[in-house]
């Protein structure tokens, strides 16, 4: 059908900054198994998935895990069942000088984002959070970017954060980091040269930036 969005055939969830890739069994055959520590077919029992979540939570030396099944959406549903879901939205903001807006928070360089409030759309939340966290007074909202997934633990409970990203544009140069959200810095950087400096940054953010740079010819 014309205009119908193609269903995603894989999901990459970062656990302890290591990828847990969920894939359709047919498409998993095309992936390089050497890229993962473990490759397994899901047997259809949700409790089975805890073994791989625990594995990635407890060790950083693993390359990652690839799980595949004929029913990808059911596999995703069973995995998500083990987490409290949290939705957030944010943006990759570019200025006229082809620089991207980065923030520094809790020891990591990141992109501005935050939780979606009740009654708020993803787009509204993305713009609000970017403006609040960086001091921008006006933002032009663009197209959606790939959604990212990562997990964390708090008060002995597992959370899975789903973040919806958007392209954004802003002319304003001066930035004011939101200290109340523990943001120490908000800065414009040329993304390729900045990443070559190996800033401390989570892998899901690095992958999102790599996609953005390729799509926008930013080196």
Instruction: Write out the residue range of the structural domain in which residue 145 sits.
Output: 84-216
The torsion defined by the Cα of 134, 140, 144 and 147, in degrees rounded to 10, comes to 0
* pTM, two decimal places: 0.93
CATH number at residue 106: 3.90.79.10
- pLDDT, position 8: 53
For residue 10, pLDDT over 60 is answered with yes
125 in the same domain as 18: no
Q: What whole-number distance in Å separates Cα of residue 86 and Cα of residue 92? A: 20
Average pLDDT of the chain to the nearest whole number: 93
**Residue 1 is assigned to a structural domain of this protein:** no
Q: What percent of the chain has pLDDT over 70?
A: 96
187 in the same domain as 92: yes
Q: What whole-number distance in Å separates Cα of residue 139 and Cα of residue 172? A: 9
Q: Which two tokens stand for residue 60?
A: 């950083």
**Cα distances (angstroms) measured from residue 175 to each of 113, 178, 185, 186:** 15, 10, 9, 6
For residue 148, pLDDT over 50 is answered with yes
- pLDDT, position 152: 95
206 in the same domain as 136: yes
Q: What whole-number distance in Å separates Cα of residue 27 and Cα of residue 20? A: 16
Taking only the tens place, the pLDDT of each residue in 109-123 is 999 999 999 999 999
110 in the same domain as 60: no
**Residue 148 is assigned to a structural domain of this protein:** yes
197 in the same domain as 139: yes
Structural domains in the chain (count): 2
182 in the same domain as 120: yes
**Residue 89 is assigned to a structural domain of this protein:** yes
- pLDDT, position 60: 73
Query: Which of 80, 100, 124 lies at the terminal end of a domain, its last residue?
Result: 80
**Residue 2 is assigned to a structural domain of this protein:** no
Candidate from 53-62, 98-107, 199-208 with smallest mean pLDDT = 53-62
103 in the same domain as 139: yes
93 in the same domain as 59: no
Query: Which of 80, 101, 131 lies at the terminal end of a domain, its last residue?
Result: 80
Candidate from 2-16, 90-104, 125-139 with smallest mean pLDDT = 2-16
179 in the same domain as 150: yes
Query: Which of 26, 49, 80 lies at the terminal end of a domain, its last residue?
Result: 80
What pLDDT band is residue 33 in, cutting at 50, 70 and 90? Answer: confident
Say if residues 158 and 82 touch (Cβ distance below 8 Å): yes
99 in the same domain as 173: yes
Longest dimension (CA), the chain: 53
Taking only the tens place, the pLDDT of each residue in 47-77 is 999 999 999 998 777 889 999 999 999 999 9
160 in the same domain as 177: yes
172 in the same domain as 133: yes
- pLDDT, position 1: 33
For residue 185, pLDDT over 70 is answered with yes
**Residue 92 is assigned to a structural domain of this protein:** yes
């Amino acid at each position: 059908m014309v205009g119908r969005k193609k269903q995603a055939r894989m999901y990459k969830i970062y656990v302890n900054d290591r990828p847990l890739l969920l894939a359709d069994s047919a498409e998993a055959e095309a992936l390089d198994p050497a890229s993962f520590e473990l490759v397994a077919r899901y047997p259809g029992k949700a409790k089975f998935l805890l073994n791989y979540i625990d594995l990635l939570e407890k060790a950083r030396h693993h390359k990652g895990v690839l799980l595949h099944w004929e029913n990808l959406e059911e596999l995703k549903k069973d995995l998500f069942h083990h987490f409290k879901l949290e939705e957030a939205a944010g943006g990759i903001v570019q200025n006229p000088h082809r620089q991207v807006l980065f923030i520094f928070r809790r020891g990591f360089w990141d992109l501005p984002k935050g939780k979606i409030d009740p009654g708020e759309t993803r787009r509204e939340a993305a713009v609000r959070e970017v403006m609040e966290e960086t001091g921008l007074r006006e933002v032009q909202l663009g197209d959606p970017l790939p959604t990212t997934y990562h997990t964390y633990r708090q008060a002995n409970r597992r959370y899975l954060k789903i973040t919806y990203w958007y392209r954004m544009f802003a002319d304003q140069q001066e930035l004011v980091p939101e200290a109340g959200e523990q943001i120490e810095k908000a800065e414009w950087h040329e993304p390729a040269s900045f990443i070559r400096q190996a800033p401390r940054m989570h892998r899901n953010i690095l992958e999102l930036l790599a996609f953005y740079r390729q799509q926008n010819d930013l080196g």
